[in-house]
Amino acid sequence: MPNKKKEKGGGVSRRSFLKGMGSGIASTAALSTGGLLSKEAAAAFLAPDAERINDFQTIQLKINGTMQSVRVEPRTTLLSALRDKLDLTGSKEVCDRGQCGACTVLADGKPVLSCMTLALDARGKEIVTVEGLADGEKLSAVQQAFVEQDALMCGFCTPGFVVSATALLQDNPNPNAEEIKLGLSGNICRCGTYPNVFGAVQEAAKNMRKGR
């Protein structure tokens, strides 16, 4: 009976752990009646706001130059609206918590993380996704350079890098290596294609300066 022996010896058994958890919950409940919050206020704070959660509404978003109607909840992220409602799956959901940059889109020309942006807050802004960078079948200079410089492996990070690089080159058409690294510092590539990505941005910058 190894478990019994461990409990007697003062180790942490599953039973004592669960007992500890129970007392932790009890103390949290006590806090709600101990002067910080009344029991009713604590219950109201913790209860889901059903009215708000179910408050679907149809909003208009300008995506890649076209006004689109989309039905969202207050909690719907721009990334979810793009991918799940508008079938624009170029922006990738990788971390879904603002850490990898794979979901980057442009909002009024500035790079934003669409997983951290509410769809409601995108109203009135010009949203451009990676799909909106190409001119029909013609890739943008940045997209073309990523292809030519072989700047992707699995490709999950690539849309975010392409959008961030586009924003960088709009602000700074002739960035040096340090400025490129800084401009793309919000994007993570787990496959480690950084040298090719940085090379692609330099190549795109060169071509854009030549008007290609």
As measured in angstroms, the least distance from the Cβ of 142 to ligand FES is 15
Residues 144-183 that bind ligand FES (CB under 6 A): 152-157
132: three-class secondary structure by DSSP: helix
| 100/162 with CB nearer ligand FES | 100
For residue 150 the two structure tokens come to: 């072989």
Of 36-44, 68-76, 89-97, 117-125, which segment contacts ligand FES by CB under 6 A?
89-97
Instruction: Answer yes or no: are the C-beta atoms of 114 and 97 closer than 8 Å.
Output: no
Integer CA distances (angstroms), 111 to 105, 141, 156, in order: 6, 18, 17
As measured in angstroms, the least distance from the Cβ of 178 to ligand FES is 21
Q: Rounded distance, CA 72 to CA 63, Å?
A: 15
Check residue 95 for interaction with ligand FES (CB under 6 A): yes
Of 5-13, 19-27, 63-71, 96-104, which segment contacts ligand FES by CB under 6 A?
96-104
> Which of 63, 102, 105, 145 lies at the binding interface for ligand FES (CB under 6 A)?
102
Q: Are strands 57-63 and 104-107 parallel, antiparallel or unpaired?
A: unpaired
